[in-house]
Amino acid sequence: MKRLNWLGLPFLGDEGRPVHQSDLNAFRRCPPQYAFSRVREATDNLPEKRTALIALKGRVYHQIMEDYLNYSDHDFLCADETERGYKDAFEYFFKEDFKGEPTDEDLAWLEKESATAGRIMRGFHERSVLDGMGIELVATEAEFRFRWGPRFKHKKWFAGRIDALWYSPHLDGYILRDFKSGTRLPGRLEWDLQLGVYSMAAECGAIEDVPAKPVLSRGIIRLHDYDRRKVGSKNGAAGDYYGPGVYTADPSITPEMVMEHEVYPLVLEIRERERTGRFNGGTKDSTNCSWCSEIDACKARISLL
């Protein structure tokens, strides 16, 4: 593995390379995987198709959810035209990402995913607790950028995009939600890195035109196909199944605690690895390898045979 500082990229947390949640998650999942992504960044290598399709699915789900929140007539989810709309969205993003027409195999995948998206959104809509709570949607896809550190001298840059933020006039604070369309989810939402960074951004006024206020509740909106067999384990350990709906973090753990005890030490560790170029110690979970686009090149991979 090349030493990363030979690539001439800024260190994580510098102004030219603010910390994004994808950096933190990639490093925590597997340090070599994080290193591979930095090398790609330096060489402009495109990820393989399987990885790009997973990313495309995430983009479409986020777009659908954003549209859902911004429409007042939520019954549109149940109409036949809406399913065709999901397919159009999938095709649109496909052409944008892959710069070409889908093959027959791609079209079959798009068809299947559009139908799944329709089912998921109807399932979510039936269980939705967002309506009638007296809260106002303040922003979707809200970009932020801020500096944070336990001591002024050592502040690092953070950037990203918050999926959805509501304001409660009664409680004078925010409700923050991230959309999740993947199959695996964080087990301890109160210590979740992404929710911690996003909440800190809202609390310190890092979003344009959104005043700084406390985040009263942070959590995820789960967009995944309904599986009757596994529902009921929603508050269990990491890797447990979450049905479609809303899951929130214990508010007694504040965003500042997450930043200080989880996020900041991880950023320092990544910077140290970037300085030394040592990214040994791959994942312990073979499932990560089976989904990793770097498996052929990686010496740390776990054999699934």
Q: Which residues are near ligand SF4 by CB under 6 A?
A: 30, 32-33, 36, 282-283, 288-289, 292, 294-295, 298, 300-301
Contact 153, 137 (CB under 8 A): no
**Helix (H/G/I), strand (E/B), else coil: 12:** coil
229's tokens: 């067999």
Amino acid type, 147: R
Q: Which is nearer to ligand SF4, 2 or 95 (CB)?
A: 2
Q: Which is nearer to ligand SF4, 217 or 293 (CB)?
A: 293
Please report how close the Cβ of residue 294 comes to ligand SF4 at its closest, in angstroms.
Answer: 5
Alpha carbon 114 to its chain centroid, in Å, reads 20
Please report how close the Cβ of residue 258 comes to ligand SF4 at its closest, in angstroms.
Answer: 25
Q: Which is nearer to ligand SF4, 70 or 280 (CB)?
A: 280
Please report how close the Cβ of residue 287 comes to ligand SF4 at its closest, in angstroms.
Answer: 9
Using only C-alpha atoms, the chain has a radius of gyration, in whole angstroms, of 20
Q: How far apart are CA 160 and CA 178, in angstroms?
A: 12
Contact 58, 182 (CB under 8 A): yes
Please report how close the Cβ of residue 305 comes to ligand SF4 at its closest, in angstroms.
Answer: 14
Give strand pairing partners of 146.
158
Contact 24, 191 (CB under 8 A): no
Q: Which is nearer to ligand SF4, 186 or 282 (CB)?
A: 282
Q: How far apart are CA 199 and CA 204, in angstroms?
A: 9
Please report how close the Cβ of residue 186 comes to ligand SF4 at its closest, in angstroms.
Answer: 18
Q: Which is nearer to ligand SF4, 146 or 279 (CB)?
A: 279
Q: Which is nearer to ligand SF4, 222 or 301 (CB)?
A: 301
Contact 32, 24 (CB under 8 A): no
**Diameter of the chain by CA atoms?**
57
Please report how close the Cβ of residue 102 comes to ligand SF4 at its closest, in angstroms.
Answer: 27
